[in-house]
Amino acid sequence: MLLEADVHAYLFLSFSLFAVGVYGLLSRKSVIRMLFSIEMIINAANLNFVIFSAQRNLDGQIFTFFTIGLAALEAAVGLAIVIVFYKRFGEVIPSKIRNLRW
C-alpha cells in the first residue's frame, strides 16, 4: 500500500481538516466559503470512516458512499437556496437569510 502510515497520522490529518473547516465556518461570511467549510468537515469525518474501515471491515467504506451522496445533495440544495436569495435581494449575506422565513 502506497500510503501505509500510522492510524494516528491519519487521525491528525482528519482533525487538521476538521479544524480548518471550523475556522472557515466561524470566520467567513460568504455563503460559498461556508459551504466549502462544511464540505471540509464532512470530508474529515469521511477520512475517519475510511481509515478505521481499512483496518477492520467494509462497513465504514459503505457509509462513506452514503455520506458522499448526501453531501452532494446538501451542496445542490444549499446553492439553489443561495441563487434564489440572490435573485430576490441582489446580494447574499448569511445574516439576512432570515428574510426567507415562511
Partner 1 sequence: MNVYFWIIYGVIIISAIVALEATSLLWAAIAFVILLSEIALVYFGIGMPVLGGVQLAIYAGGVTILVLFAIMMIGESYKKPPGKAVTAIVLSLIILVLGTGLSFLSAIDTFPYKVYSTQELGTVFVEKYSFFTIILGFIVSAILYMANAIITKKREAK
Number of residues that bind partner 1 (CB under 8 A): 75
Rounded to a whole number of angstroms, the minimum distance from the CB of residue 98 to partner 1 is: 14
DSSP string, 17-66: HHHHHHHHHHH---HHHHHHHHHHHHHHHHHHHHHHHHHS-SHHHHHHHH
Rounded to a whole number of angstroms, the minimum distance from the CB of residue 11 to partner 1 is: 4
The answer to whether the CB of 51 falls within 8 A of the CB of 7 is: yes
Residues 32-91 touching partner 1, rule: CB under 8 A, are 32-33, 35-37, 39-40, 43, 46-47, 50-51, 53-59, 61-62, 64-66, 68-73, 75-77, 79-84, 86, 88, 90-91
